[in-house]
Chain A
């Protein structure tokens, strides 16, 4: 089925370790996003890419970096994981910024111990 694929689905890291969350979409969407979801906090935007070749900070970018590798792929990197980064991470894509609906991946549940 067409959609957004995230890997891995689950990950446990030790404080200070690094990792990259992968995201790929096959809908020919231009815009891609990374959100984190925490209890009581809702979905908060980490970084987004309006189009291939551009990336911008969202509401909570500290401790993260992103790469828009090509039109299909948008990765999120944690350079030195901290317990505060324990969360569920969602990648999403849309045709363009603005009123276009998002298609979300099924999420990555990350625990930092």
Chain B
């Protein structure tokens, strides 16, 4: 069951632009994680958010967890070609004792 909906599915922008990727659900999560995956490789963890309303920054990337812990966003400032990749959100449903549930991902292409 796909609990997490990511939007947009595809995003093609030019270097220097800003963008936001969304991860939404009707379920409550104990935590949400963001991963980046490059072609031919496995996903790599970027960040974990656990508290409603939490904001974390990783250089030009800003991650926010919704107040109700049902959604999250990833904002990239001044995108660079090195940001190109598939961005995946993954959630740990509250009280589930289960493995992470992944969204389908947002494929980002940043052109020079």
- A residues near B (Cβ < 8 Å) are 4, 31, 33, 35, 40-45, 48, 50, 58-59, 90, 92, 97-99, 101-107
* Docked-complex contact A48 and B105, CB < 8 angstroms: no
Residues of A within 8 A of B100 (CB): 45, 102
How far is it, in angstroms, between the C-alpha of A43 and the C-alpha of B44 when the chains are bound? 13
Task: Enumerate 12 A-B pairs (CB-CB under 8 Å) in ascending A order.
Answer: A31-B99, A43-B43, A43-B90, A45-B101, A48-B99, A59-B1, A97-B92, A97-B98, A98-B31, A101-B45, A102-B43, A102-B90
Interface size bracket, B side? 20 to 34
Residues of B within 8 A of A92 (CB): 42
Residues of A within 8 A of B50 (CB): 99
Residue with the greatest number of chain A CB neighbours at <10 A, chosen from B31, B92, B104: B104
Contacts A42-B105, A98-B31 given; does A107 touch B48 at CB 8 Å: no
Please pick, from A44, A90, A99, the residue contacting B42 in the complex, using a CB distance under 8 A.
A90
CB distance from A12 to the nearest CB of B (A): 17
Q: Is B63 an interface residue (CB 8 A)?
A: no
Using a CB-CB cutoff of 8 Å, which residues 58-73 of chain B contact chain A? none
Residues of A within 8 A of B105 (CB): 42
Question: Which of chain A's residues has its CB closest to B32's CB?
Answer: A99
Contacts A42-B88, A48-B99, A97-B99 given; does A105 touch B42 at CB 8 Å: yes
Question: Which of chain B's residues has its CB closest to A59's CB?
Answer: B1
* Docked-complex contact B48 and A104, CB < 8 angstroms: no
Using a CB-CB cutoff of 8 Å, which residues 20-44 of chain B contact chain A? 30-31, 33, 35, 40-44
* Docked-complex contact A104 and B99, CB < 8 angstroms: no
How far is it, in angstroms, between the C-alpha of A85 and the C-alpha of B18 when the chains are bound? 38
Given contacts A4-B42, A98-B30, A101-B33, 15 further A-B contacts (CB under 8 A): A31-B99, A40-B104, A41-B104, A42-B2, A42-B103, A43-B90, A43-B102, A44-B102, A90-B42, A97-B97, A102-B33, A102-B35, A105-B42, A106-B41, A107-B40
